[in-house]
Amino acid sequence: MLNIVLFGPPGSGKGTQSEKIIEKYKLIHISTGDLLREQVAAQSELGLKAKEIMDRGELVSDNIVIGMIRSKLEEHQDGPGFIFDGFPRTVEQARELRKALTDYDEHVGVMISLEVPREELVKRLLKRGEECGRSDDRLDTINNRIDVYNQQTMPVTYYYDKMRKHASVDGIGSINEIFERIVEVIDKKK
């Protein structure tokens, strides 16, 4: 199984690149953002709690997220592998993911972080907010999400650095240029 963590701040292009990686490597996509938005759309109890937290630009609790991830792993345990898009967001989640994968005799093959300067992230997210009408793509929320990423999520790269699984990829350029850089990293780790 090929298991990839695709990492980067909000607006770095994780969703776009995930689609291309999934197409090329036939991986199962696990996006906590998508899972949470599904719950919000369904107006489930979890969804309503998650919406309130996400609208503030804060992270949903580890217990909620880990439960959703374990459920997806169980559902697709015979698949070709997974791409984790925007997960794990904390070192504790990275540890929990490692435990969950170990339960299936699996591991993360590579953690790829997309590197994009803050000004570009803000520009991309404001544009996405205008085009897609996402309630979490407002300037105050964007800045808070980037700050939360830098404070709480960035340490995850150090966790994977220690295991020699972290690879940094320049997230500036055309979608295809960035994808070529990602493929190069993945193919070295396969």
Taking only the tens of pLDDT, the chain with its 190 residues reads 899 999 999 999 998 999 999 999 999 999 887 888 877 888 887 778 878 887 887 777 887 788 778 878 888 888 899 999 878 988 999 999 999 999 988 999 999 999 999 999 999 999 988 888 877 778 989 999 999 899 988 999 999 999 999 999 999 999 999 999 999 999 998 7
Query: How many CB atoms neighbour CB 67 within 10 A?
Result: 12
* Beta-carbon contacts of residue 189 (< 8 Å; ≥ 6 apart): 109, 110, 165, 167
81 by Cβ neighbours in 10 Å (0-12 / 13-18 / 19+) ranks as middle
Q: Per the structure block, which two tokens stand in for 140? A: 């105050």
Backbone angles phi, psi at 157, to 5 degrees: -60, -35
Q: Per the structure block, which two tokens stand in for 133? A: 């009408």
List the domain range (segments joined by +) for residue 26. 2-189
Q: In whole angstroms, give the CA distance from residue 31 to residue 86.
A: 6
- What is residue 147's predicted lDDT score, i.e. its pLDDT? 93
Query: Is the bond preceding 88 in cis, omega lying within 30 degrees of 0?
Result: yes
Q: What is the CATH number of the domain that holds 70?
A: 3.40.50.300
The pTM assigned to this predicted structure is: 0.83
Total number of domains in the chain = 1
142 sits in which H/E element: helix 139-148
Side-chain half-sphere of 26: how many Cα atoms within 13 Å?
A: 4
- What is residue 66's predicted lDDT score, i.e. its pLDDT? 82
Q: In whole angstroms, give the CA distance from residue 21 to residue 150.
A: 25
**110-115 and 81-85 strand pairing:** unpaired
Q: In whole angstroms, give the CA distance from residue 41 to residue 58.
A: 19
The residue type of 169 is V
Q: In whole angstroms, give the CA distance from residue 92 to residue 181.
A: 28
Q: Per the structure block, which two tokens stand in for 147? A: 């700050």
Torsional sign, CA 124, 127, 6, 141? positive
- What is residue 132's predicted lDDT score, i.e. its pLDDT? 85
